[in-house]
């Protein structure tokens, strides 16, 4: 690499942080008990409600996405209660493990890697277990690049049970439509380091009245992640403990950027980037783990397809060219390459990735593909 600092960070997370957002963190430290910080919390909360499409409180906690999932679990159940978790990969599995750690009686719906859950499977599980207290689903299963049908599942959860509907939207919120209130999602969790273009370290949890009522009565052990304390503080635009103030500055700036673009334009850009990258992958003769209809606009999982090559070698070649992607996880380790195209990624970044993918394959001995991946991506990017 000629300029090592010139990274093309195309990971499933953390994602590239825009210079504006990085600069926002240079601000001198302020007191988290000052009117200035209260104003910052008020501004960020209003912007987060806009991104979450909710009028309900959005709690911000110090910690990565998993901290948010733990807070969601600890505040929605009591020990022994039944929880249904859709497990379509590593992150669904983690969500199930977290509920288990808090003493839930966890049932899972196991979905093969690269497939989406059928809402009918949720109906069947709820019919078998009418005492289910929580249904937990990962919106975008980042380990496979699959988007689960969150809106359709909301309908069946509310039609067939009184369970709370809890959604992990860590790698989708701010890039993929998610109507928290309109779809009837009781709890939504996200993290700072994906589509919100902010460094890792903050997690955000939206909770409606139904979920807040459950939170009040839950007997699960919790202290730092007791969202009742965050709720009381938020009423005064405060945080209960010392917040990651620099990350609040960053998040505030990133949310301004989202506002400037508008949610619809952001959603469209992500779809366009996904379609362009998928066209590139097909054009260079590699394979795609997820079918088009369920493919996430934020991350694409690439397989060797019919090519007789080690996909990790492709990843290595990409890294040599300065494009950072990620390996698969768990059962998909070594078998796929995951490339993120969310947040601070635009059409020219995607064309860089397309060119790098061609060059990576050419370095590995593949012939006759120079220019074809870029042309395929351009075709998509030009026709919108």
Other CB atoms within 10 Å distance of the CB of residue 265: 11
For residues 148 and 137, the answer to whether their CB atoms sit within 8 Å is yes
- Of residues 317 and 325, the one with the C-beta less far from ligand PLP: 325
199 vs 38: CA distance, rounded Å: 21
> In terms of Cα–Cα distance, which of 317, 314, 342, 337 is closest to 327?
337
- Of residues 161 and 198, the one with the C-beta less far from ligand PLP: 198
- Of residues 300 and 317, the one with the C-beta less far from ligand PLP: 300
- Of residues 161 and 244, the one with the C-beta less far from ligand PLP: 244
User: HEC states along 164-190?
Assistant: EEEEECCCCECCECCCCCCCCCCEEEE
CA atoms within 13 A of residue 339's CA, in its CB half-sphere: 32
- Of residues 65 and 114, the one with the C-beta less far from ligand PLP: 65
Rounded least distance, CB 315 to ligand PLP, Å = 17
Pairing of strands 299-303, 287-288: antiparallel
- Of residues 104 and 284, the one with the C-beta less far from ligand PLP: 104
Rounded least distance, CB 171 to ligand PLP, Å = 4
> What is the number of residues in the chain?
384
Rounded least distance, CB 10 to ligand PLP, Å = 14
> In terms of Cα–Cα distance, which of 17, 14, 12 is closest to 341?
12
Rounded least distance, CB 330 to ligand PLP, Å = 13
Rounded least distance, CB 91 to ligand PLP, Å = 4
46 vs 57: CA distance, rounded Å: 9
- Of residues 338 and 376, the one with the C-beta less far from ligand PLP: 338
Give ∠ CA 92-171-310 in degrees, rounded to 5: 80
For residues 28 and 214, the answer to whether their CB atoms sit within 8 Å is no
- Helix (H) / strand (E) containing 41: helix 35-52
Which residue is nearest to ligand PLP, using beta carbons?
65
CA-based diameter of the chain, in Å?
A: 64
Rounded least distance, CB 355 to ligand PLP, Å = 27
Rounded least distance, CB 365 to ligand PLP, Å = 33
Rounded least distance, CB 48 to ligand PLP, Å = 17
Q: Which residues bind ligand PLP (CB under 6 A)?
A: 12-13, 64-66, 91, 138, 140, 142, 168, 170-171, 191
- Of residues 239 and 329, the one with the C-beta less far from ligand PLP: 329
User: For residue 237, what are the β-bridge partners?
Assistant: none
Rounded least distance, CB 305 to ligand PLP, Å = 24
288 vs 272: CA distance, rounded Å: 16
- Of residues 56 and 93, the one with the C-beta less far from ligand PLP: 93
Both structure tokens of 68? 């948010």
For residues 42 and 193, the answer to whether their CB atoms sit within 8 Å is no
- Of residues 157 and 175, the one with the C-beta less far from ligand PLP: 175
Rounded least distance, CB 169 to ligand PLP, Å = 8
294 vs 290: CA distance, rounded Å: 6
> In terms of Cα–Cα distance, which of 307, 308, 290 is closest to 299?
290
Q: Report how far apart, in Å, the C-alpha atoms of 76 and of each of 53, 103, 184, 269, 348 are.
A: 21, 12, 16, 35, 43
User: For residue 109, what are the β-bridge partners?
Assistant: 86
């Amino acid at each position: 690499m000629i300029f090592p600092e010139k990274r093309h960070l195309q990971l499933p997370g953390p994602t590239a942080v825009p210079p504006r957002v990085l600069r926002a963190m240079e601000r001198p430290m302020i007191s988290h008990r000052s009117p200035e910080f209260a104003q910052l919390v008020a501004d960020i909360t209003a912007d987060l409600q806009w991104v979450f499409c909710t009028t309900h409180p959005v709690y911000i906690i110090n910690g990565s996405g998993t901290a948010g999932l733990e807070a969601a679990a600890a505040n929605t159940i009591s020990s022994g209660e039944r929880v249904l978790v859709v497990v379509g990969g590593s992150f669904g599995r983690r969500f199930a493990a977290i509920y288990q750690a808090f003493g839930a009686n966890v049932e899972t719906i196991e979905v093969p890697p690269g497939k989406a859950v059928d809402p009918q499977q949720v109906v069947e599980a709820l019919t078998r277990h009418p005492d289910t207290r929580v249904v937990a689903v990962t919106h975008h299963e980042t380990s496979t690049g699959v988007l689960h049908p969150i809106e359709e599942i909301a309908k069946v959860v509310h039609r067939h049970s009184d369970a709370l509907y809890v959604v992990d939207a860590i790698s989708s919120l701010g890039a993929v439509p998610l109507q928290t209130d309109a779809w009837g999602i009781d709890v939504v969790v996200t993290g700072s380091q994906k589509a919100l273009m902010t460094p890792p370290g903050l997690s955000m949890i939206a909770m409606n009245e139904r979920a807040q009522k459950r939170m009040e009565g839950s007997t699960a052990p919790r202290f730092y992640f007791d969202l009742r304390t965050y709720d009381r503080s938020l009423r005064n635009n405060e945080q209960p403990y010392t917040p990651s103030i620099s990350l609040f500055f960053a998040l505030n700036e990133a949310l301004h950027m989202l506002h400037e673009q508008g949610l619809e334009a952001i959603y469209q850009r992500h779809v366009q980037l996904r379609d362009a990258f998928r066209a590139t992958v097909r054009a260079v003769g590699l394979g795609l783990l997820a079918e088009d209809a369920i493919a996430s606009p934020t991350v694409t999982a690439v397989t060797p397809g019919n090519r007789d090559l080690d996909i990790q070698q492709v990843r290595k070649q990409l890294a040599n060219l300065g494009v950072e992607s990620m390996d698969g996880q768990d059962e998909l380790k070594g078998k796929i390459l995951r490339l993120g195209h969310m947040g601070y990624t635009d059409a020219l970044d995607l064309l860089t990735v397309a060119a790098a993918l061609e060059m990576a394959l050419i370095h590995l001995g593949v012939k006759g593909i120079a220019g074809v991946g870029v042309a395929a991506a351009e075709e998509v990017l030009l026709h919108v």
